[in-house]
Amino acid sequence: MFSVSLPRTVSSNSSSARTFSRFGSRIARTAAIFAIGSGLTVAAFAGTATASAAPVTCVSPPSANDIQVSDTASCGATSNGPGTATAGAADSGTAVSVNDGPGATNTYANGYGVALGASKNAGTAYALALGGGIAHSWADAGQTTLAVAGWGSGATSEARGVDCVGPLSLALNLTSGQFCVLGS
């Protein structure tokens, strides 16, 4: 009927358990932010723009400097070295991708959005400007960065940090773990 509890012993494993717990919570936060960003992307693709220009896609290589314009949509892509640069735009969007060396840059803009992306030294950069947002992503030295901006918002992701302005923004640096969402 009576119970006696033994004193709790402290082991060296408790520190590693906390480390794994922190790592797990960081992964969970990153996954949640990625899910929110994906939701923002889907919402923006649902259509917020009124103009309708034929979509354009710029790819480098094979072209050293690919520039496309169709009505009001425009894109540009240039890559120096073994990497790739891809830019796509529709509905008055403007997308520009630049790559130097190994690595990849992918940008997309629609609905008066502007997407700017650059990568160097095996970096991977993604920038999505949807429905009037401004997105800027810069990756260097093997980093992976993502910037997503919707109507009236802006997002920047680079080695020095991330920045979100407006309610429809998401910026993430997968290498450093830095992120911001919804203008925070």
pLDDT for position 23: 57
pLDDT at 37: 57
Mean per-residue pLDDT of the chain:
81
Compare 4 and 64 and report the one with higher pLDDT: 64
| pLDDT for residue 148 | 96
Outline where the chain has alpha helix (H).
13-45
Nearest to 71 by CA among 47, 92, 99: 92
What does the pLDDT average to over 3-29?
53
Q: What is the pLDDT of residues 86-123, one digit of tens each?
A: 999 998 999 999 999 999 999 999 989 999 999 999 99
CA 117 to CA 126: how far, in whole Å? Answer: 6
Instruction: List, for residues 53-92, the tens digit of each pLDDT value.
Output: 579 999 999 988 999 999 889 999 999 989 999 999 998 9
List the chain domain ranges: 51-181
What pLDDT, on the 0 to 100 scale, is given for residue 34? 55
Residue 27 pLDDT:
61
pTM score above 0.85: no
For the chain, give the secondary structure using H, E and C.
CCCCCCCCCCCCHHHHHHHHHHHHHHHHHHHHHHHHHHHHHHHHHCCCCCCCCCCEEEEECCCCEEEEEECCEEEEEEEECCCEEEEEECCCCEEEEEEECCEEEEEEECCCCEEEEEEECCEEEEEEECCCCEEEEEEECCCEEEEEECCCCEEEEECCEEEEECCCEEEEECCCCCEEECCC
